[in-house]
Amino acid sequence: MKGSAKSKNEVGNLSLNFRVGLGFDIHKFSQDKRRKLILGQVKINHIGLEGASDADVLLHAICDAILGATIGKDIGTFFPPEKSKGISSKEIAQKVMKMIEGNFKIINIDGVIIAEKPKLSPFIPKMIKNIKKIFRCDVNIKAKNPEGVGNLNDGIASIATCLVEKISNKNKK
């Protein structure tokens, strides 16, 4: 068997340097009526979400997916609530990009926002534009209404996946 054993990341002569990440976040609506709702770095005229940061559940789910695919940790490992007070989710996303810089390239992001209210479809194009600018990849965002199933009248959830490519040493030039 000498020389015939393949690494778990190789098939034939093709090296598999792709990884998939899955992220999730959920926040309840704030009791503070002055707090603004921010999703995909778009300010929406609705009561905001509670959280140490700006509570952008979409960006948090995306960062969670990226960190899972690249480093194998979740967003809370690097940005716990006690260290994220007042920080914008855009700043968190930029720090995540710095963490993976030179080692991984994000190929695409697919995200879903799950909310009973407000209606989010008018804001999706701006969210996509903002997220593309931060992560420099293809982005797809959807909004789903849980149709009264569960108790999402109290907040908003988001799920995101990402596909990343590990940059090999020969491609780092």
Terminal Cα distance for the chain, rounded: 35
pLDDT on residue 4: 47
Kindly indicate the confidence band of residue 162, based on its pLDDT and cuts at 50, 70 and 90.
very high
Q: Identify the CA nearest to 55 among candidates 73, 32, 72.
A: 32
Reported CATH class of domain 15-171:
alpha beta
**Close Cβ partners of 16 (under 8 Å, ≥ 6 residues apart):** 9, 10
By three-state DSSP, how is residue 31 classified? coil
For the cut 70, the answer to whether the pLDDT of residue 13 exceeds it is no
How large is the average pLDDT for residues 36-41? 97
How large is the average pLDDT for residues 14-22? 85
**Close Cβ partners of 22 (under 8 Å, ≥ 6 residues apart):** 64, 65, 68, 159, 160, 161
Decide: residue 79, CB within 10 A, 0-12 exposed, 13-18 middle, 19+ buried.
Answer: buried
Give me 81's structure tokens.
């609530």
Q: What are 98-141's pLDDT values in tens digits?
A: 999 999 999 999 999 999 999 999 999 999 999 999 999 999 99
For the cut 90, the answer to whether the pLDDT of residue 70 exceeds it is yes
Kindly indicate the confidence band of residue 1, based on its pLDDT and cuts at 50, 70 and 90.
very low
Beta strands in 102-154 (DSSP E): 104-114, 138-144
For the cut 90, the answer to whether the pLDDT of residue 96 exceeds it is yes
For the cut 80, the answer to whether the pLDDT of residue 62 exceeds it is yes
Residue 8 neighbours by CB distance under 10 Å: 6
Q: How far, rounded to the nearest angstrom, does the alpha carbon of residue 33 sit from its chain's CA centroid?
A: 26
- Average pLDDT of the chain to the nearest whole number: 90
